[in-house]
């Protein structure tokens, strides 16, 4: 009985010694890792000496760097890449931003700018809007893009702008681009086809009916008749005015 207790005690002491050694080794490795990390973070070899910007077209490099706000003389390991990317993406013209480390001492900023898809016209001003309905900024130079206009839209009415972009996209996919889309209110949306009639729509309207437009226009052309407007605001019918 005493022998069994003695063996159990010896076994317990051995387990304790093994655990103590493991704990000491873990503390040693942790301390060593901390020392190495501190050494790397403070080593001048990894301090930022260059920041490169690629992908920008209309935005200047200075604008992007100012928005990035990356501290000088800092180790590339101490820069929060996600946070810098987030700050850059707050610029309205930036669709996506990514920051990468290029060893030993360079940061690379990759920028994808938003591309104007249409204009939002309000009080004699043109605002560029991308394909996601995001207002990029005031247009510096007019391009051949469709206009979204009307009393029912403004820069801060996101849902109206997204609706306008959705309608413009639907028409473009059919090969029937609109020159202008006037959103007066939910029940009065008028699109002007390029070299074609007006199309009446409603916010809760039947966009599936837009797919019939090419057939309606082709039939009118075959008959030699001129269409003044096409009204898609009614269920299960398309009203055509000649």
Mean pLDDT computed over 47-51 = 92
Residue 139 Ramachandran class (φ > 0 left, ψ -120 to 50 alpha, else beta):
beta
Together in a domain, 180 and 194: yes
Total number of domains constituting the chain? 2
Q: Are residues 208 and 126 in the same domain?
A: yes
More confident residue, 30 or 164: 164
Q: What is the pLDDT of residues 132-161, one digit of tens each?
A: 999 999 998 888 999 999 876 777 788 889
Helix-then-strand count for the chain, H and E = 5, 12
| The last residue of a domain, from among 89, 113, 137 | 113
Residue 40 belongs to a domain? no
Q: When comparing pLDDT for 1 and 19, which is higher? A: 19
| pLDDT score for 23 | 65
**pLDDT at site 97:** 97
Q: What percent of the chain has pLDDT above 90?
A: 52
Classify 74 as helix, strand or coil. coil
Instruction: Write out the residue range of the structural domain in which residue 208 sits.
Output: 118-241
**What is the average pLDDT score of the chain?**
85
Same domain, 95 and 140: no
Residue 124 confidence (pLDDT): 80
Give me 182's structure tokens: 């006037």
- What is d(CA 131, CA 190) in angstroms, rounded to the nearest whole number? 20
Exposed, middle or buried, 61 (CB in 10 Å: 0-12/13-18/19+)? middle
- Say whether both 153 and 98 belong to one domain: no
The pLDDT value recorded for residue 208 is 76
pLDDT attached to residue 85: 97
- Same domain? For 172 and 64 the reply is no
Does 24 fall in a domain? no
* 88 and 104 assigned to the same domain: yes
Tell me, yes or no, whether 200 and 215 share the same domain.
yes
- 96-134: per-residue pLDDT in tens? 999 999 999 999 999 999 999 999 987 788 999 999 999
Q: State which of 86, 113, 140 marks the end of a domain.
A: 113
The single-letter DSSP state of residue 241 is: E
**What DSSP string describes 106-126?**
EEEEEEEEPPP-EEEEETTEE
| H or E, element range at 221 | helix 213-223
Residue 83 lies in a domain: yes
Residues 127 and 227 in one domain: yes
């Amino acid at each position: 009985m005493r022998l069994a207790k003695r063996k159990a005690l010896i076994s317990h002491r051995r387990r304790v010694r093994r655990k103590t050694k493991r704990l000491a080794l873990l503390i040693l490795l942790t301390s060593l890792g901390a020392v190495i990390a501190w050494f790397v973070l403070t080593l001048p070899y990894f301090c930022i000496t260059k920041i490169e910007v690629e992908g920008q077209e209309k935005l200047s490099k200075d604008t992007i760097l100012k928005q990035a706000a990356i501290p000088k003389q800092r180790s590339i390991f101490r820069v929060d890449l996600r946070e810098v990317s987030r700050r850059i993406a707050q610029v309205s013209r930036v669709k996506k931003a990514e920051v990468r480390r290029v060893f030993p001492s360079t940061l690379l900023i990759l920028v994808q700018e938003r591309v104007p898809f249409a204009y939002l016209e309000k009080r004699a001003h043109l605002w560029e809007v991308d394909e996601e309905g995001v207002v990029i900024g005031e247009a510096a130079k007019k391009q051949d893009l469709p206009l979204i206009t009307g009393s029912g839209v403004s820069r801060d009415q996101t849902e109206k702008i997204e609706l306008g972009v959705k309608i413009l996209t639907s028409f473009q996919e059919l090969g029937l681009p609109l020159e202008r889309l006037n959103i007066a209110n939910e029940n009065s949306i008028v699109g002007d086809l390029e070299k074609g009639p007006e199309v009446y729509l409603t916010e809760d309207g039947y966009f599936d009916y837009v797919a019939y437009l090419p057939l309606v226009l082709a039939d009118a052309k075959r008959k030699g008749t001129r269409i003044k407007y096409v009204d898609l605001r009614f269920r299960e019918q398309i009203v055509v005015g000649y």
